[in-house]
Amino acid sequence: MMAVEAWDSEDQIVKDAQKYIEKLNEIYNYVLNQAYSCIESFPNLPRNEKIIYEEQVQQYLNGIIGDVDARLDKNEIISFLMEKINEYLSNQGIYC
């Protein structure tokens, strides 16, 4: 609430947040594509299982993206998310 009071208007809040939204959206898409590539390249995994893992990874990423501090450097955020995704996949027996 104190942060909202610091801005002049709702329009200013949206304007200031837009750069972070765009940044996180770009990072999200990059990390998700990397995870999909990993799953797709995993040998001996039937197509239907790949689809299931891709859906699970997307749900997992949706759950952790909110924990990211958008003010951090883009590469730091990507590293953090990729580490989490790789850990998640390795727990499923998929190693990239």
| Arithmetic mean of pLDDT over the chain | 90
The DSSP output letter for 68 is S
pTM: 0.83
Instruction: Give the percent of the chain with pLDDT over 90.
Output: 73
Best CA proximity match to 78, nearest among 14, 30, 11, 9: 30
**6: pLDDT confidence band, cut at 50, 70 and 90?**
low
Amino acid at 10: E
Report the C-alpha gap between 13 and 57 in whole angstroms. 31
Q: Does the structure show a pLDDT above 80 at 14?
A: no
